[in-house]
Amino acid sequence: MKKKKAPERPTQCRVLIQGVRDTQDLLNGKWKTPIIGALYYRGKMRFMELRRELDGIAPKMLSQELKDLEMNHLVTRTVHNTMPITVEYELTEQGKSLNSIIDAMGRWGIKYREQMLRA
């Protein structure tokens, strides 16, 4: 009688690693994750509100990162017909699906910082 083989772990591992790579590609860079985090925690925000929230980001960099996030369907840009024109950014449903990742990264980062300060 032949024994059935267990599913190959290397295949599962490769699939998961590819998923991690895909996520990294979307969130790659210094500012994308903080932008998503700010929009997650604060909701809709205007460009200057985001810039103030993300201390140290240059306007050109913020603009480029928002365009990339919009292109990847993680952020929506809404232009309101007001004087002056108002533009708001918010997470799409796909962007909101990153909430658990953002929360986990935030909690891990706080815990890690505390441990390093005690060391």
Q: pLDDT digit string (tens) for 77-89?
A: 999 999 999 999 9
Q: How many domains does the chain have?
A: 1
CATH number at residue 90: 1.10.10.10
In a domain, residue 15? The reply is no
Residues pairing with 6 in the sheet: none
In a domain, residue 96? The reply is yes
Q: Which domain holds residue 42?
A: 31-118
For residue 94, what are its two tokens?
A: 């796909």
> What gap in Å lies between CA 67 and CA 95, rounded to an integer?
14
Cis link prior to 7 (omega < 30° from 0)?
A: no
User: Could you tell me if 62 and 47 are in contact, meaning their C-beta atoms sit under 8 angstroms apart?
Assistant: yes
In a domain, residue 14? The reply is no
In a domain, residue 83? The reply is yes
In a domain, residue 1? The reply is no
Residue-level pLDDT at 12: 86
In a domain, residue 101? The reply is yes
Alpha-carbon radius of gyration of the chain:
19
Q: For residue 11, name the pLDDT band (cuts at 50, 70, 90).
A: confident
